[in-house]
Structure formats: C-alpha cells, structure tokens
Structure 1
Amino acid sequence: MKITDFLFVLAGVLLNAGAQLLLKSGASAVGPIQGFEGLRQVALTLAFHPGVIGGLFCYVLSVVLWIVALSRVDVSMAYPMLSIGYVVNALLASALLGEVISAQRWAGMAVILLGVAIIARS
C-alpha cells in the first residue's frame, strides 16, 4: 500500500475514532438512558449537543475519506485497517476519559496491530 493511500485510510479511521469520543461526550451529558421515558427530551438534548454534532461531522468526513481510500485500495486490504480504530479509541479513551485498559485489552490491541502490519505489508 502506498503511503498516500495509507494516509487516506488512517485519516478516515482517526476521524471515526474521534467521532466515537465526541458522541461519548454527548451520551455522558444526558447520563444513562433508561427505557423510553423522557426519550424525546433526551433526543432533543443530544441533537443539539456540540459533541454529538461534532461526532456526526467527523463521521461524514470519515466516510468521504473512506470513499477516496476505497477508490485507490483493494477493499480486502483497506477494510482490515479499520481495526486500527479499536486501538486508537482505547488509547484516547484512556488518556482523555480516564478509562482503564486491562492487560487483556493491551494484548488484544497488540494482536490487532500485528494483524494490520501483516496485511499492510502484503
């Protein structure tokens, strides 16, 4: 995979991971959603929350970059690269949200990165 192609894939993955964190900020703002009671108010709060709006914007940008990447790279190579998002998300959630990464998660992330490296070199 050419470096420019990889950068399109990586940018899409990073935007997708950023979207998850922004959506989490919106979800945290409303707290745990319990059933359908008050769902309308929750939906309105989420619809206008800056994190949710930013997350959706990141998703749109990531889709555009993903389409560019798919126009340049075989899907059988590009799609597994999405796994990088799991690693990025866990690291950012730990750094920004204080989430704890267990030894099992670290091992899983190492396996993911090894798999991505093998595919990228093929």
Structure 2
Amino acid sequence: LAPRQSHGQCLTLCLLLSAEMYPKPTISLSPGRVTALGQDVTVRCRAGRRDARFSLFKVGDRTPLGNMEPGGEFLIRSVRWGDGGSYTCYYHYASDPFAWSEPSDPVELVVA
C-alpha cells in the first residue's frame, strides 16, 4: 500500500490478506444438534494449537456472542427459540492478534 493511504484502508486490507493465514477451526454442539427448549448447550471450537483465542458468531450477526481464551467452549444457558440457527467460530493467537482464521463450517442448532 502507498504510504499516503489511510490507516483504515491498510487495516482492512491487512485483515483481508491475513484472513486465510490460519486454517478454519472445527465446531460442534454438545449434547447434540437438536436441543430441547430450556436445555443448556455447549458450543465447542477447536484449532490446531491450544493457545487459540476464539470468537463465536451466530450467522447473520456482526457482533460475537462471546470470546474465549484457551478452551473454546461457549455455554448457551436455557436455550430459547431465538437461539436456534447456524453458528461459526474464528480464532487468532495473542502473538498475532490481527491475523484471524477462516470461519469454521457452520453448525446448526435446532431447538425442539
């Protein structure tokens, strides 16, 4: 980038260029994909290294539902109808906070 371009443009471009730096994490639901209304559900995100820091998103939302430092487990307490839908997670490492992974494949939570 030319030095005269704004920091915002560089930041956007740098994030886009680094988006594929890390492979996508895996994502799963426990106890399972179909969950009874009012039951707790754990969303688990996993990456290649233990020190990954995860962010969980509901597909269509721009704001993360949560951020988790090592562990990648997000608890959704007392599932409601509105919690149903697709979820994805991303991760990065503290040593390189501006380089994020590709998104995980989506996992679908069905509230029954």
Query: TM-score w.r.t. structure 1 length?
Result: 0.24
Structure number with the higher strand fraction is: 2
Structure number with the higher helix fraction is: 1
Query: TM-score w.r.t. structure 2 length?
Result: 0.26
